[in-house]
Every structure is written in structure tokens, then in C-alpha cells.
Structure 1
Amino acid sequence: MNMKTIHYIIFLHAMCLGNTYKILVMFPVPSPSHFILGSALARGLVNAGHDVTIVSPYKDKNPTENGKYSSIVLKGLADIKDPLENIKLFEIGESNPLTAAQLMYTMGNEVTNSTLESINSENSNIYEEKFDLVILEYFKNDALLALACHLKTPLVLFSTMGANLWVNSLVGNPTPPSYIPDLHLSYTDNMDFWQRLMNVFMYSAKKLNDKFFFLPFQYELAKKHFPHCVGEEGPLSNVSLLLLNSHESVNNPVPLVPNMINIGGFHISPQKELPRDLKEYIDNAEEGVVYFSLGSNVKPSEMRNETKKALLNALGKIKQKVLWKWDEDFLPGNPENIRTNKWFPQQEILAHPNVKVFITHGGLLSTTETIYHGVPILALPIFGDQKMNAAHAVAGGYALSLSISKITEDDISDALNQLLNDPKYRENAKKRSALMHDRQVKPMDLAIYWIEYVIRNKGAPHLRVAALNLTWYQYLLLDIISVVLIIGIILMFVSYLLMKKLCLSRKSDMKIKSN
């Protein structure tokens, strides 16, 4: 029996056991790593027997053959990366956190506008179809929340990160800045006074930016495309569920309201065979292999020449073989122990027991995959949440982190020497891996259960917390605090007047007695 037959039997089995729902999955961010998550979730839903339409900037090169799976490409969105590439991500990494955050806001506005324009020009039939549910990747694209209102379906949001300031307000989840660092800061949950002060500043700056600049722009986009789904407070949306690409083995534990579900690691697929030549290369590495990849968005060829030279010299001196994901056909000055390629099967490489260290940019997908397989990390964070992920990994004892804009050959050599020769890093990585695997339910099964739960329970409004019905000053109890302060001040003032009057009266009595 071949694999196609097995998939078909699984699909028929799922169809017989439960209802088949029609689900719209929208992942509009022009990033291959985001598409990996979206397509993995869509395929999981198809395997569970559902009819899925995925909307993204990319064409699925290997569409699933079992079940109903259709892909709609948002034309032109993949080109949005070009202006970001002109800025150069290595330069973004050297900018201050506010500048990096503002870039994400700008990208959010551009992606949202282009998504809506693309749907209108090429794929307007989406608006006419009947869906049971909309799953939307949330990435500063608030106008798209109105799509669920337009289609009259419940809304499930997906966050490519864990709980953070961006998404918490959408479901009323608390975000105490005392121990939850902003995603653009390289802090852990154990912050000193100055870090907490900087964290509060970042929170406040982002909230003000949302209030006066970002959200008004998004609301105008929503009014333009879904005028009947926009109220005084913005797009009419009721988030039924928020799926988080996180897990306690990777992210710090934080409070979650009932409709927030951690499914980190759901995209990790069953292990496949490595290509024969690559398998032989790793198998025959007597001292092991160091794997080096800066992800799908970063072009390592754009690094400073000094940085490239430092990496090449340091990697060329180690006994291990090196696999380096390099974006060009040729790497000048490449030592004999380094093998480059434009693409490597990352999950399969990390799963090989001969891989000793993963040099990574610290993206959440790469971090999740290396923890899943228990491989120590040398992090070279560049932008976004990568600095925070690297800080968490270092605090967890399975990683070291270096600033890619300041590294020297000695820095890299020292870090590699520690990671390769001190067993504590691999032991800690294995402990984290055990935590990720020690789960009551597989993350994909958990995601499917809650998605079906929301549909079965008509949006599951009973999971919605009352915090969403409060204004910001009510949520912070500022009205109560103000009343208590006013009453306290009045009582103190009255007490002062009474005491003053009493003192004057006593002085008067004493004066009369003396006379």
C-alpha cells in the first residue's frame, strides 16, 4: 500500500468521524518562514478532513493530494520584501529598538493594504464564498480582522510568536511590563531596574503609536473595503481563539486567558531521509558537524567583509565539518571543511545525531526546531524578536549569543570551543527537548481540536474575558484610584480644617484663662 492510498484512507476516516468544515486560512506576510507555518496548519486541517483555502503571497509547490486543499496567491505581495532588502537587515539589527519596531509597523501597513488590493483585483470571489471559519495570521494587520465580520464567520488569529503586546490586547490578556519584555528588546523575564524602565518606555511608545498613527491608518483601510464592518472603535471583530506559535520549553511562562492556546512545534513534520550525498557527508564527519543558517529572509552575503572573514577564519580552524546556508553560488575564501548551499533540509539535519552546534539568527522557527532535536545554539540575532529569543536561550543554558555587528574571530572561536567541548550546553538542550516532547496532546492535534471547538460552539463567546468590555482606565482601575485619592484628599483637608479650628479654639480658651 503506497503513501497516497494511506493518506486517502486517513482522509475518508476523518470524513466519517466528524463534520467537514470549510475554512479560510490567510497568511499574508511575505516571508517564507511565515508561509511554512501557514501551509503546515492548512495541511493539518485537510488531514483532519476539512476543506481548506489558503491565501498567501506564495504558490504551494507541493500541494497536498489528500482532501480538499486550494491555494490562492496574493499577487505582488512577495515583492514587498524588496524595500526591506534595500534597507538591509544587518543594518536594521544595529538600529535602536524603536526604529526596528517602526519598520514592523510600516511593513504591517503596506502588507495589509496590498493584501486587500490584491483580493479585490484578482480574487474577489473570496468575498462571495461561504466559510465556516477564518484563520488569520496577525502581524499588525488590524484592518483584516474585519474580513471575518464580512464573511459572517468566527475569527481565529494565529501569532507567529508567543504572547506579546501586539496580540494580548485583542483577547484581553495581561501584559505586565515588570516581567514580560518587549519583543524588540534583548531581555529575559528577569529584568533589573533600568531594563524594566526601558521596557515600560517601549510599551508606552508602542501604545501611543498604535493610538495616534498605526490604528487610524488601519481603520481607514477597513472602512474603505468593509464599511459595514467598522464601528466607532475600529473594525468589528470578535476574536474567538488565538493560536500561539510558542511553548514553555522555548518561551518564558506567561499568563494566558482561556482562548489563547500554545501550539509551538506544530509545524515540525515527521523525519524524512536526508539526500544520500548529504547523509554521507554528515555520517562521515568523525568530529561531527556544525550547521550554520541565518534563516530565509537574511542574505549572509550582505554581511560586512570583516564579519565574513572572522566567521571563515574561526570556522576554518575547528575540527568539525560545517554546513553553511549561503545565498550565492560561490563563497570566496571558503576553507576545505565548509560546504555551502542555497538550501538545506534543516529539520532533517538537526535530527542527525552527528550535528553538534547550530549557528542561527535566533528566529523562533529555528529555535523551536533546534530545541525539538536537542542541539545547542550559537545565536547571531539580527532583527525582530531574535534578540529576545537568543536571550531566553542563553538564560536556559543551551546557547551562547554574539552581536553579529561586533564579532571578532576570537569571539567566535571562544564561543564554539565552549559549545563543542562543555557538555552542559548539550545536556541543557536535551532537557529542553524532553520538555517539548512531554506533552499530553500533539500540538497539531491541539490546534485542530480548538479550531473545531470554535466552529462547533458558534465562536465560543463563553471564552471571552470581561477585560475586553472595559476602557483602558477602567482596566487599570484608574477611576477607582482617582475616587479614593480624591476622597482621601478631602478627608485630609477637612481634618486639617478641624484641627486648625480646634487649635485656634484652645488658644482662645487659654488666652481667656490667662486674663
Structure 2
Amino acid sequence: MKVLSVLLLAIAVFSHVDSYKILMYSNLFGHSHVKMLAAAADILTDAGHNVTVLMPVMDPLLRNKTSLKTTKNTIFVDPSPNVEMLMEQMREFLTNLWTADNANPLVMLAKAGDMARTFAEQCERVMSEPGLIEKLKAENYDLAITEPFDTCGYALFEAIDIRAHVAILSASRFDHVTEVIGQPIAASYVPGTQSTMGDRMTMGQRLGNYIQYFFGSYFFSNVGDADFQAAKKIVPIKRSWREVLPEASFILTNQMPLLEFPAPTFDKIVPIGGLSVKTDKKHLKLDEKWSKILGIRKQNVFISFGSNAKSVDMPEEFKKSLLQVFKSMPETTFIWKYENAKDKIVDHLDNVYLGEWLPQNELLADPRLSVFITHGGLGSVTELAMMGKPAVMVSFSNTVHDQTTRKTGIFFKTG
């Protein structure tokens, strides 16, 4: 019996030899970013690794929507009063997404300072959190993971001396990342992240594409530099994200090569498009409420414009147009992501159902859903591609236009 116990103990010990202690830095800002990193964390946890996710809270609305399922080790850093104030100002800016001239790079430039101040304030808050640096350093993590949308993670990795790290992008590429790692820009045929161009451009459009690339890179680089300056005031670090990021062992990108424009790349840039999309049927069970609603009529339409451009902020004339469509199609059920479910806007219509937060993945996987009306964000488009669901895209920002341009061909095939 003692021999068996020793043998079982030895098996248990050696079966975990290949597991790693991993620290993930995931800023709670932007649902698509949070969801992508959460999917990666859960996959690593399910593989037997010890994953801790550090989540600075920039958007309090995401505090209970981390998208984590099996990863239980979490550390939250609450926002400072200044961050809360700056985030309120940013929300005011986001309400104008429906009507802003997003194709104009000067619009992005005008908000660059506010964006940098917001992220820098939160980075300073993280670095000055009592006991956090010491606690993380004592853990001796084997690997760190972050998304360079917010580069404060790299300052933290330097502070606690983690040399092995991996970058995950919730997009196919970020212009500022392309610049610092030396990836060729190829502006003559590769649209920048913030570009409104396709892959076939006139000479004037190529110039416009490069200008949009330049402004997009400047915008996020400015955030990264502000993060570094804020962190350097708290901890004695010397290397900025510009030096640390290129040392990433891998850069994992949310792209599907078959659906992308051809572009120069490196061996360490690995596409993992669809990582956050659930395709296993046992994880796609729709809750009873929405399942019953889909069963009322034969035709069902799901409407969502993402987490930034909120339907509740939509101009009144846009809302009236949608309401007219709903009224003209009484034999069709409409499920609308609307951020105030108590609003009486659809009380006179019995075929429209509002939800502040909807199970998008599960709805798209349900064969009873007929069409998805979407803003064309990368997360939504990737889900559509993997679920084979017809869609109508309503583009209103540069990034969304980019994904719409990239993926439109999907819908001629599946629609």
C-alpha cells in the first residue's frame, strides 16, 4: 500500500513538470480585447498551467464580464478617481461614433492626448498599488502575456523581471506594433489598421493609406510612451515597450489567413483567428429565454453594433428608421442589443426584444437565426465566418470599415 501511494505521488508530481506559472496582463477596456485574452487564459488553464490574470479596471461595466470561465486566479486593480473622470469623458466621445467623421485621421489625432492620459493614469495606479509589485515578483512567473493595445504590461514585466513574454493581438495587426518589430508596412497594397482602403488602391489612395497608417501608429505609440513615463515615476525601469515588445517570443494575431489580404510577416507572428469563438455544441446551449423567443416565428434577426457604438446612443433618425423596418415585418422576430432594456422605445411592437447584454456566440450558432445585422467588428465577423451565418454590415468607423472590406466575400458564400 505504501509503495502504491509513493508511486501515485510520483506520477502526480511528474505529470505537472511541464506546467508553467503564467502572468497575463489584461486591461478591462473594450469587450473584444478582454474576451480574446480571456479565451487564451482559459485554454492555458485547461492545459494544466497555473495562470494568473491581472486586470486593471478601466471600464467598471466590465468588472463582472471578464469572459473568464476556468481561470480563477485573478487580481483586480480599481481605477483612480482621475481615471473614472477621464473614462466618463471618453464615453461622451464614443456616443458620437455614429456621426463622427472617422475617416479623417485628424479626428483620431484630436483624441490622442486624452487617450494617453487615461491609460497613463491607470498604469501609474497599477504600479503604485500597495504590495503588488513585490507580490508578483515573489511568484517567479515563467511567462508573461499581454496585448500591446495597452503597453503598461511591458513596464510591469520589466519591474518584476519577466524576460519570456508573448503578445496577443485581438486584431490582425496593430500599426504601432508593426512599426516597432520591423514588420514591412507595404502601404501600397496592405491597408493599415485604421485605413478605409481595400487592397487595390490608386496612387492617391496609397498615399492616404500611408497617412492613416502613420496616424494610427502615432495614436497608440503615444499611449505606450505615456504608459512608460508614468510607470518610470514609480518603479526603476529603464527599457520602454519599444525595446521590450520586439523581444516577444511569439506575436499571436486574431486573423484567419484565408480571409486576409496577403501581407509581409515573420515566423514568430502566428495567426490564431477564432480563438475566442465557441464551436463545440456542448458549450453553445442557448438559455431558455432567448431560445423561446427564437421559437416564436420562422424568421429571426439579431442586431448588435458592438460595445463601443451603443444603440442607445444612436441618433433619433436612425432609431426611427429601424423601428419602421421592424413594424413593416411583423412576421419576423428582431432581437436588438440595446443598452437600456427598460426603454419603452419598442413597447408598441410585439416582434422586438431588447437586451443589454446578449449571448452573441450562442445566438449565431443557433440554426433558427436567419440574419445578423452588425457593425462588422472583427470579433463579430470571425464568428460569422465560423458559423456560416448571413449578415448585413453597417460600417461606421475605420477599423470596422477595414474588417467589412476584408471579409465581405464571406457573405456572398454563406448568405
TM-score norm. by structure 2 comes to 0.82
Letter in 2 for 1:133: L
Alignment-derived partner of residue 108 in structure 2: 101
1:101 corresponds to which letter in structure 2? M
**1:338 equivalent in alignment to 2:356:** no
TM superposition shift of 1:284: 3.6
Give the conservation status (yes or no) of the 8 Å contact 2:32–2:170.
Answer: no
What is the CA-CA distance between 1:156 and the residue it aligns to?
0.9
**Counterparts of 1:291 and 1:187, CA distance in 2:** 28
The structural deviation recorded for 1:41 is 1.1
Q: 1:393 — aligned with what?
A: 407
Distance 1:206 1:321 in 2: 40
CA distance in 2, matches of 1:305, 1:218: 38
Equivalent residue for 2:168?
158
Which residue number corresponds to residue 40 of structure 2? 41
Change (3 A) 1:225 1:382: farther
Matched, 1:136 2:158: no
Query: Separation in 2 of the partners of 1:306 and 1:184?
Result: 27
Residue in 1 that maps onto 2:254: 245
| Aligned-partner Cα distance in 2 for 1:113–1:83 | 14
1:323 aligns with 2:335: yes
Provide the residue aligned with 1:352 in structure 2. 366
Q: Secondary structure at the match of 2:128?
A: helix
Matched, 1:429 2:397: no
Q: 2:184 and 2:317 mapped to 1: Cα distance?
A: 44
For 2:108 and 2:400, the matched residues in 1 are separated by 13
In 2, Cα distance between the equivalents of 1:256 and 1:104?
A: 28
Alignment correspondent of 2:305:
294
**Residue 126 of structure 1 aligns with which residue?**
136
Query: What's the counterpart of residue 205 of structure 2?
Result: 195
8 Å contact kept, 1:268–1:347: yes
- Which ranges in structure 1 are unaligned for 5 or more consecutive residues? 1-11, 399-424, 431-515
Residue 105 to residue 127, structure 1, CA distance change in 2 (3 Å)? farther
SS in structure 2 of the partner of residue 243 of structure 1: strand
Deviates more, 1:30-39 or 1:364-373: 30-39
Query: 1:261-297 CA distances to partner (integer Å, 9 max, x unpaired)?
Result: 11111112233221223213213422x2110011223
What is the rounded CA distance, in whole Å, between the counterparts of 1:35 and 1:278 in structure 2? 24
What's the counterpart of residue 319 of structure 2? Answer: 308
- Choose from 89, 93, 96 the match for 1:90: 96
Gaps of 5+ in 2: 1-10
The offset of 1:86, in angstroms, is: 1.4
Which one-letter code corresponds to 1:362 in the other structure? G
- Residue identity over aligned pairs, in percent, reads 23
Distance in structure 1 (CA, Å) of the matches to 2:28 and 2:243: 20
Residue 487 of structure 1 is matched in structure 2 by none
Is the counterpart of residue 266 in structure 1 residue 265 in structure 2?
A: no
Q: Deviations over 1:24-46 (max 9, x none)?
A: 11111422332222221111111
Is 1:285 equivalent to 2:310 in the alignment? no
More helix by share: 1
Does structure 2 conserve the Cα–Cα contact (< 8 Å) formed by 1:138 and 1:157? yes
Alignment of 1:164-175 (within 5 A): 164-175=174-185
Q: What's the CA shift for 1:148? A: 2.6
Q: What TM-score results when the alignment is normalised by the length of structure 1?
A: 0.67
Aligned residues: 385
Label 1:179 to 1:132 Cα distance change in 2 as closer, same or farther (>3 A): same
Using a 3 Å threshold, how does the CA distance of structure 1 residues 64 and 50 change in structure 2: closer, same or farther? same
